[in-house]
Structure 1
């Protein structure tokens, strides 16, 4: 009997199938001849699949032949070998059979990707000449075992630490300089405002003097005090 998936696993499977551009509806009918699964495995493990080995089938017995071929050439090689009875259920489109297989393929793909990322990380470490591997004693349960540990020379650590401290000092000095320049700009702005206010007062007084000289008629006096008061508003 195929493994019955939980609602959470079914939801995960649907999301994964959507990522693989596979419609999760009507899986029993569309997957019964193994063609859709073969196409999926072609994307995940291209070297294992020759699609011409999996022609579309309508007869249950021919569908079973496709599954047997896929089981021998691909599923068995990735550790997902199916039993005879399971392949018969897949060929018949028995509910739950294809979902269980696809979920197993999903889990296998996820684990394979984790292993690949780990190997890439290990390769990057191994290509670094500054890294050495030493065996250290580690207690596991009641036993003491030797575990390989990647390490760098202390001189390299010291140099890296000095470089980091140097960068921090540079950033601190730069921040202080920025704060000093901002303060200078603020003082200059305040001085410019002050000079503009003084210039406005001088301009008003100059106009007052000019009006006093030009306006000699006794019937048109100018109240200088009020005029200066108005100028102080600038």
Structure 2
């Protein structure tokens, strides 16, 4: 479906759907944001976390890397949704052609919703089968006689219990099973959201760690410069002592005397 075939309301509905998904980048321009395929992979991962491995998708500006990301997404992920993006459409998305990304997002949303419905139906049927199995086990459980020995129920009793009644009441109320399926779906969505938030936290922790390393490096360099500056200027007392010692002896302080017959090292004062 081309972008021109979507009315304003349909486009707004599509953009609202994308906005509801937490992505790793700020949402500025949908045409450029989705050009490298990374955010498209994040959209699928939000709904089906086990289907996508984000380390396979590298944020890129080069056309070659963008095409590589889309090719991997097409082959490894979208194929499992019975969906494939034509090569000419991929190139338009990579080249940021206006309206091209909608050609991808509209059918992608449809495939995601179809798979969600199938998953919900499967969960519903599984719940029905489980309840049926539990009920069958309950009806076939042997009863104990007066001596405390379990005996198999008679055929008449089994037939009576198998007739419409308690088991039918369990299976005849689809609302309970629907609520169960909805709760399971909500739990799945919550887990996916937690996983995405944990991924973002790990990225922030990595950034903080890199900044700490940079700060430590700058601090070490500053300390080295300060030490070099300190050793480059001798204290005045040391310089004065060195000057006095250049005459071959130590100049005495005030009131000092010299041995008889030895002249003052600096002559008469």
When normalised by structure 1's length, the TM-score is: 0.52
Unpaired runs of 5+ in structure 1?
132-151, 161-234
1:60 equivalent to 2:70? Answer no
Aligned to 1:69: 72
Aligned to 1:92: 95
Q: CA RMSD in A?
A: 2.7
Q: Distance in 2 between matches of 1:72 and 1:159?
A: 47
- Deviations 1:43-72 (CA, angstroms, capped at 9, x unpaired): 222223221221111112321121111111
When normalised by structure 2's length, the TM-score is: 0.46
Which structure carries more strand by proportion? Answer: 1
Q: Distance in 1 between matches of 2:10 and 2:109?
A: 11
> How much does 1:78 deviate?
1.0
Q: Distance in 1 between matches of 2:50 and 2:28?
A: 28
Alignment equivalent of 2:38, drawn from 27, 35, 39:
35
Q: State how many pairs are aligned.
A: 140
Q: Distance in 1 between matches of 2:61 and 2:39?
A: 14
Q: Distance in 2 between matches of 1:123 and 1:157?
A: 16
5 Å matches for 1:140-151?
Answer: none
Q: Distance in 2 between matches of 1:104 and 1:159?
A: 41
5 Å matches for 1:1-234?
Answer: 2=2, 4-21=5-22, 25-129=28-132, 130=135, 153-156=163-166
Q: Distance in 1 between matches of 2:81 and 2:11?
A: 22
- Deviations 1:21-63 (CA, angstroms, capped at 9, x unpaired): 3566401111111111112222222223221221111112321
Q: Distance in 2 between matches of 1:41 and 1:82?
A: 14
Unpaired runs of 5+ in structure 2?
137-161, 171-269
C-alpha spacing 1:127/1:29, structure 2 compared with 1 (3 Å): same
Q: Distance in 1 between matches of 2:11 and 2:168?
A: 52
C-alpha spacing 1:93/1:157, structure 2 compared with 1 (3 Å): same
C-alpha spacing 1:155/1:5, structure 2 compared with 1 (3 Å): same
